[in-house]
Chain A
Amino acid sequence: MTLKKFTFKVLVAGPFAAGKTSLIAAVSQTPVVSTDVATSGHEAEVKASTTVAMDFGTFEWVDSSVSVKLLLFGGPGQKRLSFMTDILKTDADVVIFVVRPDSNVDIATEMLSDLRDRLNSPLLIAVNCCDDDAVARLVAASIGAHASDVAVACQLNVHARGLEVMAAALELLDERIMAEVNQ
């Protein structure tokens, strides 16, 4: 029996050091192709390296009748590199915006606003380093998330939590497809 093959593209965006690369690394079954470079200046005080173009990972799931491949793209977190995220978001099936409660609110707000501009894909806000969904919703609201946006709390340094965030984002895509079919 020939397996039907499907591919879904996920974009992971968010401010610097929020946990985007960690999320991709948690889900990817292949070594994450990274374009990290050593940080300098004040960024070096936060982390040793940062993504300048994109991270890329894959996840593949095969069952009895389908083969599904997930392509995971992570955009850079710095404003000066935001053009990469604009390119990556054009054909993403779903977008995950990763933020931490201690992320710079102004930067995160601007990034989320830019991301939402001309975005046609479902959006999940993943609040990293957070254990409470109610707190996650407050964090999301503080950076300009809409009331209808879905925000989830997560600990992306835990492998399983990354997988759950990805599953939650794909649920939004499933709902979007359902809604389009029912229109």
Chain B
Amino acid sequence: MTMSTSTGDACLPFAAAQPVHGVVAHHAQLRFSGCVTIRTPEEISVWFADGAVFFADDASEYSVADRLVADGILDAAQVRRATVQIDETRSLGFIAHRCTDVDVHRLLLWAELATASVLRASADQLAVSVESQRFVVHPEGLHLWQSDRQYVSVPPGTPSTNPVAGPALEPGSPQFFLAIDAAWEHAAAEDAACREPAHEPVESVDRRFALRSLIGGLRTRARS
């Protein structure tokens, strides 16, 4: 069984206070894969794959599963079938793999809207602390969390000296949301790629089968 990592560079600590959009841009530049928890002091979590944001969530009193049910994306039975729980850790990752009757497009649109809503609401707020946790992406779709958690407290008001972060996009500007859209599309493509099973693509299998059949046909003709 092979395993590929998609962790990007090591997460560099911030030397200065940043607004949330600066933190997001910083991790995007690092091609970070994992979860970044930002306190403003409200807490939001932003998930990245190779630097692209694929989900963001705030510390709502309702869980993602509850909101999916409340918004009519999943019913309670689907949530039960889709949820993987070990002790107190509950995962809804790869719902469509475990629950094939989910409307994947509605689910993706819901996640996209939720992500945009969270980032839009928090983009220009100053990050008080940033906690980054990297993960590796397994070809079969398992995300194994790495143990090297990094926690950085950022004193509010510290001037920005972070050399890695590029020019921050104006929160709420068209460029800001275009960047989020692009990041979402990139993450969706990455996600689809990592879901591919670790064996020959179907097209190659079919093509080889056809080729083998043809070779057999030619040899049969040659013998006759």
Query: Counting CB contacts under 8 A, is A92 at the interface?
Result: no
> For the complex, what is the distance from the CA of A61 to the CA of B220, rounded to whole Å?
11
Specify the main secondary structure of chain A where it touches its partner.
helix
Interface size on B, residues (CB 8 A): 19
Main secondary structure of the interface of B (DSSP, over half): helix
Distance between Cα atoms of A174 and B218 in the complex (Å): 14
Q: Which single member of A65, A70, A160, A181 contacts B214 (CB below 8 Å)?
A: A70
Q: Contact: B213 with A68, CB < 8 Å?
A: yes
CB pair B218 A177 closer than 8 Å: no
Contact B201 A167 (CB under 8 A): no
Partner of B206, one of A6, A59, A161, A163: A6
A164 with B219: CB separation less than 8 A: yes
- Category for how many chain A residues contact B: 20 to 34
Least Cβ distance of A173 to chain B in Å?
Answer: 6
Tell me how far the C-beta of A68 lies from the nearest C-beta in chain B, rounded to whole angstroms: 4
A126 to B209, CA, bound (A): 25
Q: Are A68 and B214 in contact (CB under 8 A)?
A: yes
Residues of B contacting A181 with CB < 8 Å?
200-201, 204
Task: Establish whether residues B222 and A167, one from each chain, have CB atoms under 8 Å apart when the complex forms.
Answer: yes
State which residues 183-224 of B face A: CB under 8 Å.
Answer: 200-201, 204, 206-215, 217-219, 221-223
Q: How far is the CA of A171 from the CA of B215 in the complex (A)?
A: 7
Q: A160-B222, A163-B219, A167-B219 are in contact. Are A66 and B204 (CB under 8 A)?
A: no
Whether the pair A163, B222 counts as a contact (CB closer than 8 A) is: yes
How many angstroms between the C-alpha atoms of A64 and B200 in the bound complex?
22
How far apart sit A37 and B200, CA to CA, in the bound complex (Å)?
Answer: 47
- Asked whether A166 is an interface residue with its Cβ less than 8 Å from the other chain, the reply is yes
Whether A177 and B206, one on each chain, are in contact in the complex, defined by CB atoms closer than 8 angstroms, is no
Considering only CB atoms, which chain B residue lies closest to A159 in the complex? B222
- A177-B210 contact, Cβ under 8 Å, with A59-B218, A164-B219: no
Question: CB-CB contacts of A145-169 with B at 8 A, as 1s and 0s?
Answer: 0000000000000001101101100
Inter-subunit contact A160/B223 (CB<8 Å): yes
Query: How many angstroms from the CA of A68 to the CA of B216 in the assembled complex?
Result: 12
Known pairs A63-B217, A167-B222; A174 contacts B206 (CB<8 A): no
The CA-CA distance from A65 to B214 in the complex, in Å, is 12
Q: What is the bound-complex CA distance between A111 and B206, given in angstroms?
A: 34
Q: Are B213 and A177 in contact (CB under 8 A)?
A: no
Let me know if A8 and B214 touch, CB within 8 A. yes
A4 within 8 A of B: yes
Give B211 Cβ to nearest chain A Cβ, in Å: 5
Rounded to whole Å, the gap between the CB of A165 and the closest CB of chain B is: 9
Bound CA–CA A170/B214 (angstroms): 9
Separation of A160 and B217 alpha carbons in the complex (Å): 12
Chain A min CB distance to B63 (Å): 41
A61 touches B214 (CB 8 A): yes
A24 at the interface (CB under 8 A from B): no
> Which residues of B are at the interface with A, using a C-beta cutoff of 8 A?
200-201, 204, 206-215, 217-219, 221-223
A-B residue pairs, 9 tightest by C-beta: A61-B217, A163-B222, A6-B210, A167-B218, A160-B222, A68-B214, A66-B210, A181-B200, A68-B210
16 sample A-B contacts, Cβ–Cβ < 8 Å, listed by A number: A4-B210, A6-B214, A61-B214, A61-B217, A63-B213, A63-B217, A68-B211, A163-B219, A163-B222, A164-B219, A164-B222, A167-B218, A167-B222, A173-B211, A174-B215, A181-B201
